[in-house]
Amino acid sequence: MLKKLMVIVAMLYAAASFAAVDVNQATAAELDGIKGIGPGLSGKIIAERKHGAFKDWDDFIQRVRGVGEVTAGKFSTEGLRVNGRTFKASSTAPAATAVSAPKK
């Protein structure tokens, strides 16, 4: 009986670990549960959220200092959501330019 109880608790913990966390509703502890977000960044997020909810990922990136597109992508992969949406890189990002070989 104890083994079954331990298995159930482990499964619930695993399910909670993969649950999506919405940045506009999460507590500091929930934000800290996202890999890469610590107490400092969760504090910045909550402080900025007091000025208004984040509209989308671009708004989140602009308002939270230290978060760029690469970091946002990692947070999204770990389960962070903005209004229930995952991060998708913006199409307004500068395109990589082709580098030509030097002339001989």
pLDDT value for 3 = 78
Say yes or no to pLDDT of 27 above 90: yes
The whole model's pTM is what? 0.68
pLDDT value for 2 = 72
pLDDT tens digits for range 36-83: 999 999 999 999 999 999 999 999 999 999 999 999 999 999 999 999
The two structure tokens encoding residue 103? 């002339």
- Residue 64 CA to residue 72 CA, distance in Å, equals 11
> Cβ atoms within 10 A of the Cβ of 62, count?
13
Could you give all domains of the chain from N- to C-terminal order, each with its CATH number? 20-81 (1.10.150.320)
Closest of 39, 70, 44, 40 to residue 57, by C-alpha:
70
